[in-house]
Amino acid sequence: MTSLTSRTLNIIVVVAALGYFVDIYDLTLFLIVRRDSLLAIGVTGDNLLTQGIYLLNMQVLGMVIGGIIWGIWGDKKGRLSVLFFTIFLYSVANIANAYVHNIAQYAIIRFIAGLGLAGELGVGITLVSEVMSTQKRGIGTSIVGAIGISGAVLGYTVASGFNWQVAYLVGGGLGLLLLALRFFVFESGMFEKIKMQTVKRGHFLSLFTDKKRFLKYIYCILLGIPVWYIIGILVNYSTEFAQKELHITGEISSAKAVMYHYIGASIGSLLWSLAGQLFHSRKKSLWLAMAVLVTFTAAFFASFGSSPFVFYGIIFFLGIAQGYWIIVITVASEQFGTNLRATVTTTVPNFVRGSTIPVAYLFQFLAKNRALGIWQGALITGIIFIGLALFALYKLDETYSKDLDYIES
């Protein structure tokens, strides 16, 4: 490999990683500044919760729709065009977020931001997987995950030091600066190769017309859901669990919980990817990560009367466990041919993120049952979705040494 090629590969990994960095910055920033921003536009009382959920759902809806659009576009027109157009889209949305004055405006902008955010991770992983060698692509995707997830730490830092409007403007500015790297990145050779062939590309419905293909797709989605169960339920509502159910001995901040969790997730992204390289197996690494996830999920529910230090420590180790998220996306990209790879790798993470809606509704339904409450409701929800993920992992094929230069018939 020439030094020029090595530099090109490095830039591709850097661009994908920084794109995901700004993606995670925005996702976590909204959770952190949600209350302050809603208060600033006149939302008060119980409406803070209901309107916050509404805005989050609008963002998730944008991500689900965007996942389909950008995935198909990535397979039909190319990976790079999606990568940089979506960076531009969510950067502009972030800037616009700083100037909303009512819920209607906020909802529209969060939907547009969701559309933009939908394209980053999947297309970035697709591109990195296709340009790197079989032996090294796990390292490349782990770097994308570790750098990207650390965007949550910047989100917390900026939101703590400045008001919510400045925090949104910083996110938008970072995205626009990233666009400058567009001129140093080249398209995937695998994609350029199939462009010359008469083969259907980005045919989303074909994922549902073949049983084996459909099941692989569903298993990839199920495998990722525990990540967003932990973030959306256990971490997002950590203050409520700590005060009302677990009786933690000191004050717990959900914003701090988000930060510690994502610090752990950044470490976990590297840890599980390196474990996969050591074992020469994605599945062995995933089984180990799931074992850690189950252990610390159990510790979370058993942490009655713990100190804040112990509680935040559990949140941190849950983050390390959920660092397996980046391997889920890598495995999804490796399960399918080049003509469907961007479609799958972009829709899977966004459908997983979209699962936060049914997961949250199930949790809320169970929590409202007087015989259960939020502790048992969250526990039952976790058992269901973690159980489904373990089954999905059992059914998926090993992909560590798989050659990705092929097409789906």
Closest alpha carbon to 153 in 266, 17, 285: 266
Does residue 119 sit in helix, strand or coil? coil
pLDDT tens per residue across span 128-159: 888 887 777 888 888 888 888 888 889 888 98
Is pLDDT above 90 for 35?
no
Q: Max Cα separation, the chain? A: 66
Query: Which residues lie below 8 Å from residue 230, measured CB to CB, with a gap of 6+?
Result: 261, 293, 297, 318, 321, 322
In 249-398 the beta strands, taken as DSSP E runs, fall at none
pLDDT tens per residue across span 64-108: 999 999 999 988 888 888 888 998 999 999 999 999 999 999 999
Q: Which amino acid is at 361?
A: Y
The reported pLDDT for the residue numbered 7 is 58
**Rg, Å, the chain Cα set:** 20
pLDDT tens per residue across span 369-407: 877 888 999 999 999 999 999 999 999 999 998 888 888
Neighbour-count burial of 204, counting CB atoms closer than 10 A to its CB (0-12 exposed, 13-18 middle, 19+ buried): middle
The reported pLDDT for the residue numbered 5 is 52
Closest alpha carbon to 22 in 70, 74, 84, 73: 84
Say if CB 191 and CB 130 are below 8 A apart: yes
Kindly report which listed range (13-17, 225-229, 387-391) carries the lowest average pLDDT score: 13-17
Query: Domain ranges in the chain?
Result: 8-177+205-395
**Element spanning 220, H or E:** helix 211-229
Kindly report which listed range (8-12, 37-41, 80-84, 402-406) carries the lowest average pLDDT score: 8-12
What is the torsional sign of CA 215, 221, 224, 226?
negative
Domain with residues 8-177+205-395, CATH architecture:
Up-down Bundle (1.20)
Does residue 311 sit in helix, strand or coil? helix
The reported pLDDT for the residue numbered 122 is 86
Quickly count: other Cβ atoms within 10 Å of residue 183's Cβ: 6
Query: Which residues lie below 8 Å from residue 309, measured CB to CB, with a gap of 6+?
Result: none
For residue 363, CA distances in Å to 124, 188, 310 come to: 32, 42, 25
| Percentage of the chain lying above the pLDDT 90 cut | 48
The reported pLDDT for the residue numbered 293 is 98
The reported pLDDT for the residue numbered 3 is 42
Q: Residue 232 has what DSSP assignment?
A: I
The reported pLDDT for the residue numbered 4 is 40
Say if CB 73 and CB 126 are below 8 A apart: no
d(CA 343, CA 340): 5
Query: Which residues lie below 8 Å from residue 186, measured CB to CB, with a gap of 6+?
Result: 8, 12, 80
- Taking the model in full, what pTM does it have? 0.87
d(CA 128, CA 17): 10
pLDDT tens per residue across span 267-286: 999 899 889 989 999 999 99
The reported pLDDT for the residue numbered 255 is 80
Closest alpha carbon to 325 in 281, 295, 293, 360: 293
